[in-house]
Chains A and B, each alone.
Chain A
C-alpha cells in the first residue's frame, strides 16, 4: 500500500525523558489510521513532530517520499498536513466565525493583501458559515471563541481543520470533553471526510469502540515506544497489546476504557 507519511527512528527527548523513542511507521495514503495508547504514551508528541510543532532529537519524517524533518510547521500546513489540537488552541478574543475565516484565507493564499477590505472576500465568509453549520456551531458564529463551552471549542477546532482542507488531517482526540449527545454528530463529520477522495486521516483517540468502527489501521504507542500496527482486528488479538492494556488497566481510567471494549 502506498504510504503518505513515513517516519524513521523518530525520537524526541525532553531533558532526560524520552517521550517518543525510535518510532518508524508507514501511514497509508487515503486511509483512516488511529493512534492509541495510554496517557503519556507520546501520541500528542508524535503528532507534534509530524506537523512540525516539535523538532525531533533524532530521526526523520517523510511526506510523499520527501524528507520534511527540517520544514517549519507553516510549510507543512501549506503542503497539506493539517491538524487539530488536543488542548484547545483557538484565537480566544475573536469571533468563532473569524477563527474559521482565517483558516480559509490561509488556504486561499490571501496573505499580504492590505488594501482591500476583508468583507470583499465574500466566498470566504460563506464557506466559513457553511463549515460552522456542518459542525453544529452556526448559531455561535458571532460569539468570541473564549466564551465557548469546552465542547464547542472542540467543534471549532474541527471546523478550522476542515477549513484548511488539507490532504492529511491529524485529529488529536477531537471528541474528548464533548457531551455524549454531541459526539455522534462530530463522528458523522469525520466519517464524511473519510468518504472524500484523497483524504488521509490520522486520529488519536481513547475511546476504543470509536476507533474500531472507523479505522482501517490502528497503531499502538506505549511509553514512547512503537508497539504494533495493523487492522483493528489484528490489534485486538495482538498479545503484546493485550498485555500492556490489561496490565496497565487497574490504575488508568483511559486504558481500562480501551481494555474493556
Chain B
C-alpha cells in the first residue's frame, strides 16, 4: 500500500515538473493564459470537492469565496501602491475573510439538514453579488476595474506571464499535496465516514459539527486563494466572480474529473477549459459552439449517466476490479462464476 502510494506521488511530481518545463517550449500568450486558468480552477474545484466529494456537503454558493478572494486582493492592490507587501496583505485579507464567512455559514447551517446549507450558501453568494454591484465606491459596480500588480525585479518583468504561470502552478501543486495529506489523515478519514453515514459516526463517539465546520473553513480559504490567483492573472475584477456560473463550473469539473478525488477536479478543470477554448473557436462553424454552456449541459448529463464516478473514479474502479479479478483467479476458482 505504501509503495503504490509513493508511486503515485512520483507520478504527480513528474507531471508537475513537466508542467514547469512546458512554457519553455510553448509560450504563446493564449496558451499560458489557458494553463493558468486550469491551475486556478483546478484549485477552486479541489476546494469544492473537499465538501462535495469527501464530506458530502453540497454548496451552491462556492463562488462567494472565489469572489471574496478576487475582490480582496484587487481592492488592496488598487488602494495601496502595487507592491509585494500589498499583494501579501491582499492574500492574507482574502483568506481571512473567506475563512470567516465559511465559519459563520457553517455554524449557522451545517447542523441542519444538508439542503439548508446548499440554500444558505446560494443566498449568501447572491448577497455578495448584489453587494458588489451596489457598493460602487469600493467595487466600481458591474463595470469592475483593472489594477496594477507589483512590478517584478530585473529582467523578470519581461516574462511576467511566465512568472504568473509558475506561481499558479506551484500553488496548485503545493495545495494538491497539502490537501492530499489532509484527506489521508485521521481527520480526513472521519470526513469520508461522515459522508457515508453520519449516524454511525456519532455512535462511534465522534461529533459531526466540528468536522463539517473545519472542512468548510479550509475549503473556503482555499477557494478564496483561487480567487486571488484569478484576479492577479487577469489584473481585472468584476461581479462575474460571484456568479452562480463559477459554482457550476466547479461542480462540473469535480463531477467530470471524479468526485472524492483530488486529481479528478484538476483533470476536470483541464477538460473544461480546453473544451471551452476550442469550442468557442468553432463558433464560426455553427452557432451552437458559441453556446458552449449548452454543450456542457449535455456533457454533464452524459457523464452523470455513464460515468457517475467521473474519469478518475472510473479508472480507479477499473484498476481495482482488475486487481481483484487477478487475485481471485490466482487464489482458486472457488469464487469464480
A residues with CB within 8 A of B: 51, 53, 72-74, 77-78, 82-83, 85, 89-94, 98, 101-103, 105-107, 110-119, 121, 160, 164
Q: B193 and A91: CB pair below 8 A? A: yes
User: What CA separation (Å) do A73 and B202 show in the bound complex?
Assistant: 6
User: What CA separation (Å) do A53 and B200 show in the bound complex?
Assistant: 10
Q: A73 and B185: CB pair below 8 A? A: no
Q: List 28 A-B contacts (CB under 8 A).
A: A53-B199, A74-B205, A74-B206, A74-B207, A77-B203, A77-B204, A77-B205, A89-B197, A89-B203, A91-B196, A92-B197, A94-B192, A98-B189, A101-B189, A102-B201, A102-B204, A106-B205, A111-B187, A114-B181, A114-B182, A114-B188, A114-B214, A115-B181, A118-B185, A118-B186, A119-B2, A160-B204, A164-B204
How distant is B33 from chain A, measured CB to nearest CB, in Å? 35
Q: B189 and A102: CB pair below 8 A? A: yes
Q: B196 and A94: CB pair below 8 A? A: yes
Residue of A nearest to B327 (CB): A142
Highest count of chain B CB atoms <10 Å: which of A73, A78, A83? A73
User: What CA separation (Å) do A91 and B190 show in the bound complex?
Assistant: 11
Interface 1/0 per residue, B291-317 and A, CB below 8 Å: 000000000000000000000000000
* Interface contacts beyond A77-B202, A114-B185, A117-B181: sample of 9 additional A-B pairs, CB < 8 Å, sorted by A: A77-B203, A82-B203, A89-B199, A94-B193, A107-B205, A113-B187, A114-B182, A116-B185, A118-B189
B residues with CB within 8 A of A: 1-2, 181-182, 184-190, 192-193, 196-197, 199-207, 210, 214
Q: A116 and B205: CB pair below 8 A? A: no
Q: What residues of chain B lie closer than 8 Å to A92, measured between beta carbons?
A: 196-197
Residue of A nearest to B218 (CB): A114
User: What CA separation (Å) do A111 and B187 show in the bound complex?
Assistant: 6
User: What CA separation (Å) do A78 and B190 show in the bound complex?
Assistant: 16
Q: What residues of chain A lie closer than 8 Å to B193, measured between beta carbons?
A: 91, 94, 102
Q: B205 and A102: CB pair below 8 A? A: no
Q: What residues of chain B lie closer than 8 Å to A107, measured between beta carbons?
A: 205
Q: What residues of chain A lie closer than 8 Å to B181, measured between beta carbons?
A: 114-115, 117
Residue of B nearest to A116 (CB): B185
Q: What residues of chain A lie closer than 8 Å to B204, measured between beta carbons?
A: 77, 102-103, 106, 160, 164
Residue of A nearest to B187 (CB): A114
Q: What residues of chain A lie closer than 8 Å to B189, measured between beta carbons?
A: 98, 101-102, 105, 118
User: What CA separation (Å) do A51 and B188 show in the bound complex?
Assistant: 26
Q: What residues of chain B lie closer than 8 Å to A113, measured between beta carbons?
A: 185-187
Q: B203 and A105: CB pair below 8 A? A: no
Residue of B nearest to A160 (CB): B204
Q: What residues of chain A lie closer than 8 Å to B185, measured between beta carbons?
A: 113-118
Q: What residues of chain B lie closer than 8 Å to A119, measured between beta carbons?
A: 1-2, 184
How distant is A165 from chain B, measured CB to nearest CB, in Å? 11
A74-B206, A160-B204 as given contacts; A114 in contact with B186, CB under 8 Å? yes
How distant is B228 from chain A, measured CB to nearest CB, in Å? 23
Residue of B nearest to A117 (CB): B184
Highest count of chain B CB atoms <10 Å: which of A78, A85, A102, A110? A102
User: What CA separation (Å) do A83 and B205 show in the bound complex?
Assistant: 11
User: What CA separation (Å) do A63 and B145 show in the bound complex?
Assistant: 64
How distant is B12 from chain A, measured CB to nearest CB, in Å? 15
Q: B203 and A90: CB pair below 8 A? A: no
How distant is B309 from chain A, measured CB to nearest CB, in Å? 10
Q: B200 and A112: CB pair below 8 A? A: no
User: What CA separation (Å) do A53 and B1 show in the bound complex?
Assistant: 37
Q: What residues of chain A lie closer than 8 Å to B196, measured between beta carbons?
A: 91-94
| The one of B1, B186, B201 that contacts A116, using a Cβ cutoff of 8 Å | B186
How distant is B319 from chain A, measured CB to nearest CB, in Å? 13
Q: B197 and A53: CB pair below 8 A? A: no
Q: What residues of chain B lie closer than 8 Å to A114, measured between beta carbons?
A: 181-182, 185-188, 214
